[in-house]
Amino acid sequence: MSKILTAYFSASGNTKKLAAEVAKAANSDLFEIVPEVPYTDDDLNWMNKKSRSSIEMNDKSSRPKIASRVKDMEQYDVVFVGFPIWWYEAPRIIQSFLESYDFSGKTIVTFATSGGSGMGKTNDILARSCSSDTKWRDGKRMSSNTDVNTIKKWLDSLNI
């Protein structure tokens, strides 16, 4: 039986709600990826080109610092990584998270919330932050209100 972690970043609470359901359905541990400097509403104003989130997303090398680390990441075989979609991809803090650990031989499954954007090339972008022997499964965009039965069907389809 695989040991599973559900790690997530949530700026507004939508991804947090979904991550809790994913963790319940997967019977996994839960870890919140919290930025060292929390985002304010002004930071998240995507219509302002000078907002923190806009600046980070326009700088592909940006890696916001994370407030804490997963204790004993080595124990996990499968890591679900959840986030909101920003500018058609994962927020840069997800790359910060992935670059903080050795995921060699582990399976990463992404999931995201979004007001309408799909996953796009998110996995391709994120895979560059991990070793080449990290196993990636296709990500899935879901509503923050997705019920646990729908999530369980998705998990079953992954054959993990």
Q: Is the model's pLDDT at 1 over the cut of 80?
A: no
Question: Are 17 and 144 spatial neighbours (Cβ–Cβ below 8 Å)?
Answer: yes
**pTM for the full model?**
0.95
Burial class (CB within 10 angstroms; exposed 0-12, middle 13-18, buried 19+) of 97: buried
How many CB atoms are located within 10 Å of the residue 13 CB? 10
Contact 45, 118 (CB under 8 A): no
Kindly indicate the confidence band of residue 112, based on its pLDDT and cuts at 50, 70 and 90: very high
Residue 28: pLDDT band by 50, 70, 90 thresholds? very high
pLDDT band at 117 (very low <50, low <70, confident <90, very high): confident
Q: Lowest mean pLDDT: which of 38-42, 93-97, 119-123? A: 119-123
Q: What one-letter code names the amino acid at 57? A: M
pLDDT digits (tens, 9 = 90+) for 50-107: 999 999 999 999 999 999 999 999 999 999 999 999 988 999 999 999 999 999 999 9
pLDDT > 90? residue 46? no
What is the architecture of the domain spanning 4-158?
Answer: 3-Layer(aba) Sandwich (3.40)
In the chain, the percentage of residues whose pLDDT exceeds 70 is 99
pLDDT at 120: 83
How many helices (H) and strands (E) would you count in the chain?
Answer: 5, 5
pLDDT reported for residue 138: 85
Beta bridge partners of 84: 113
- Give which of 56, 55, 4 is closest to 29, Cα–Cα: 4
What pLDDT, on a 0 to 100 scale, did the predictor assign at position 2? Answer: 84
Alpha helix positions (H), 5-48: 14-26
Of residues 22, 19, 45, the one with CA closest to residue 34 = 19
N residues, the chain? 160
Domain boundaries, the chain: 4-158
| pLDDT computed for residue 87 by the predictor | 85
**Largest interatomic CA distance in the chain:** 47
Supply angle C-alpha 8, 15, 85, rounded to 5: 90
